[in-house]
Amino acid sequence: MRDRATSLIAGLVLLAIVGSTWWAADYARRSIPVDPPRRVTHEMDSFIDHFVMTRTDETGLPAARLEGPRAEHYPDDDSYEVRQPRAISQRPDRSVTVATAENGRMDQDGARIVLKGDVAFRRPPANGEPGLLIESEQITLLPNEDVAFTELPAAVTRGDGSRITGTGMQYDNSSRQLTVSSDARVKIAPRAPEAND
């Protein structure tokens, strides 16, 4: 009979030890102040002055740059608001493009830059080819795909003076294709007279 009592007592003591250690661990975790959750309001949490952000392509070469006098970071959607941004695409095998605007917003981890206000997207003339300038009130850049597009009216001026206007445009710098999605108007300038003789 005694054996049954001692094993019962041993079981009870073991149970008490397990219970108390579980309680102690829980009490300890509850008492330490855990970090407060991230602020999710759209308020700036950090800013950079006179910055240059460079993105590299898969091979590590710098493919795109974003510069500006000031960028403000917002934690809720991890976006940057940039004043007077300059977005440059500089891939080795392709022509450079430079986009400037009054302000811009970069989000989706840099995959998208929306430029607003007097936007000028320029491909400077290079190796004998006339340049290209696209102007609109808003242009969205996708640096990874090296594409620029807008749904608003836009005007394209080519180095040789011809002009394309329309509403809704997309320019792909890798294939140098430009599509105009509605009411396209092209004005091909006459050859400059001196060019003829």
Partner 1 sequence: GESPRLQQDVPTLIDSDQLDYDDTKQTSVFTGNVVLTRGDLSLRAERLELRQNDAGEQFAVATAGAGKQVYVRQTQPDSVELIEGYADRAEWDSRAEQLDFIGRAVVTRMACSQKLDEIRGERISYNQQRNVYSASGGQMSGAPKGRVRTMIQSRTTSDAAVKSCAPTGGKQ
Q: How far is the CB of 70 from partner 1 (least distance, A)?
A: 34
Cα–Cα separations (whole angstroms), residue 72 to 38, 80, 105, 183, 186: 17, 5, 10, 38, 40
Smallest Cα–Cα separation from 149: which of 114, 174, 184? Answer: 114
Are the C-beta atoms of residues 101 and 122 closer than 8 Å to each other? no
For residue 142, what are its two tokens? 């996708």
The stretch among 17-25, 51-59, 104-112, 184-192 that binds partner 1 (CB under 8 A) is 184-192
Q: Which of 101, 191, 194, 197 binds partner 1 (CB under 8 A)?
A: 191
* Residue 144 CB neighbour total at 10 angstroms: 14
- 182 near partner 1, judged by CB under 8 A: yes
Q: Name the amino acid, one letter, at 121.
A: F
Q: Which of 87, 99, 148, 180 binds partner 1 (CB under 8 A)?
A: 180
For residue 123, what are its two tokens? 């491909």
Q: Which of 13, 28, 40, 195 binds partner 1 (CB under 8 A)?
A: 195
Residues within window 119-148 making contact with partner 1, judged by CB under 8 A:
132
Q: Which of 153, 179, 194, 197 binds partner 1 (CB under 8 A)?
A: 179
List residues near partner 1 by CB under 8 A: 132, 158, 160, 164, 166, 175-191, 193, 195-196
